A and B are shown apart, each in its own frame.
Chain A
Amino acid sequence: MSTFQYDVLVIGAGGAGLMAALYASKSANTAVLSKLYPTRSHTGAAQGGISAALGNHEEDHWEWHAYDTVKGSDYLGDQDAIEIMCREAIDVVIELEHMGLPFDRTPEGKIAQRPFGGHTRNYGEAPVRRACHAADRTGHMILQTLYQQCIKHNVNFFDEFQVLDLIIEDGVCKGAIAYEIDTGEIHTFHAKAVILATGGWGKCWSVTSNAFTLTGDGAAIVLRHGVPLEDMEFFQFHPTGIWKMGILITEGVRGEGGILRNNLGERFMERYSPTLKDLAPRDVVSRAIYMEIREGRGIDGKDYVYLDATHLGRERIEKKLPDIADFCRTYLGIDPAEQPMPVQPTAHYAMGGIPTDVDGRVIVDANNTPLYGLYAAGEVACVSVHGANRLGTNSLLDLVVFGRRAGIHAAAFANEIEFQPIPDNADEPTRELVERVRTHDGDENVATIRAEMQKLMMNNVGVFRTEELLTEAVEKLKELKERARNISIQDKGKRFNQDLLEAIELYNLLDLAEVTALSALNRTESRGAHSREDYPERDDENWLKHTLIYREEDGSYRFDYKPVTITKFEPKPRVY
């Protein structure tokens, strides 16, 4: 065991964590802890693009981008934060280019842009080309570029260190407790500021575009420390995952002209979204696919539809969507230039998360009271710029804009204060947890409980929800949590004990599944990705507000609410 001391500790090495680390390390002694090698982070999976109103192909303005984001969020996004994001987008994308990011280029040599769902010209008139891209591997390029810059600037990395707890005392965060995967040692990291950038929790669901390692550790840890989670009922289902596998087929396919078709060959999106059609926002398209399936128009009567790109031509596909073509060949044995791709909605992105202000500071109540020393950025955070539904390409943007802001603010904060003393036994709860999981002799298995939870979440807390389904989910999750106490693992060793870590990750997933189901049951309206069949309308009078869910000491939950910040755009009916 050792104790390390850093001014700023960044937990997570995806786009958000690396951006925060680059900025924090300019003026503060900074270390990055990551349970994966940084380049394994799921930011590398992002395909389609990062949005910024550069206007490289046609007229565009950040105000249009802000409007689209607000409307896309079904008016739940905080408009002050959205304005910051869309304004800073231009400068941050240029900064990435200056760091060497290899964007695709226009004939004049500028950054190339493509259309994406919900991004429009002049407040909703027609799609606009706003997504800056590098083929269909934009996230890979962002992750690589940021990691390369971290190497260049000698940022300290602790790779394969899994954080299991935070040190929070008297409303101040003072560090983290990490498990060194290789050795099984538990280390204390004493810090002045901690930035959580641990990504999402798609692994709560059975069909997901998310990595096996996206288990929401950061969100679950703060929840147990009494920090609320915001808007957890809003989880995005991306309309086009590979049938049964969930692997993502980027919206960029539709951006390039791909079309969704049912078993009759109909372009059914024309009925659901006359203006934007296949480029409507994700919540709209995912619901449309489910409606088609429900009305018997899935392919072969099954639960999928076709994404047709055959008319784009082989050259365009190989050039603009090479990785998608590769996935289709590898996993489906089909050639997308010849055959349509079987797709179904896949659990994709957490709009909700740890509440923060626009500088990444974690806040603990409706009055925006900060928890000193604790920051969050990226998918784990809820600023909230995505509200009830995120537009494609806005997450990569969120990572770099708010990762940067969090890094700058955390370093400035750290430079103003002294290290706060931490207790000698700060790691005690973690040691107990690890020992209990390692030695407990029960008759339950991690994989079985996880699979049951994932299926339950898919069926009951998916695209369409009802009181009945959600109530059942809440009850069953309670049972699963009870059973999970009786898990027994087989690996009792210290070296690279993933058996142990998977059990701890399951506890995190179960907590997040539970708060998701509870928040969804609580919100009796339909808005964005949260679609209640028993409350099909948006209800601004009662529900134009953010949910905060708190866990009490006794394990029960309590709700509170936070007003939505509205600056320019008053809520209107949302038609596309």
Chain B
Amino acid sequence: MDKIKFATVWLAGCSGCHMSFLDLDEWLIDLAAAVDVVFSPVGCDLKTYPDGVDVCLVEGAIANQENLELIYDVRRKTKLLISFGDCAVTANVPAMRNMLGSSSAVLKRAYLELGDVTPQLPDEPGIVPELLDRVVPVHEVVPVDIFMPGCPPSADRIRATLEPLLKGEMPVMEGRSMIKFG
């Protein structure tokens, strides 16, 4: 049997979920034996998301044009998409800018009103991705198969989610140890 093709992506989040993933310590060796890491900011050097991915952990909310394009790509090419952590599940801290209103209000606040030295709006089309007007959780954009809340989800929770998948079973996302937010 071919190895499971495993990916992780990092959208609008702080990378804390990926740090927690690295906290799996020795179990990462077992995981590496069971899967092929085909795309990941912490486990692979590829820059384009490949076809035919079996399982993908998605960290972060959808906050800009690049996040949006990548998540559509990920959904199209992935069998099982996991919302990985509170930013993916609820939009969490990145979405606190939604209270200010549109993206222009946010940019104005951050780069003009709070800009101490040469305040100016960032404008590099094609290089700096445009902000979306609203930061949204992943499932508001594409269908999600498994929700793994937590800020970040503990290494134990990540392992308890992934381990059944390696055996072809679905994890049971129930109880404080699996679904507590924060």
Q: Do A and B bind each other?
A: no
> Which residues of chain A have a CB within 8 Å of any CB of chain B?
none
> Which residues of chain B have a CB within 8 Å of any CB of chain A?
none
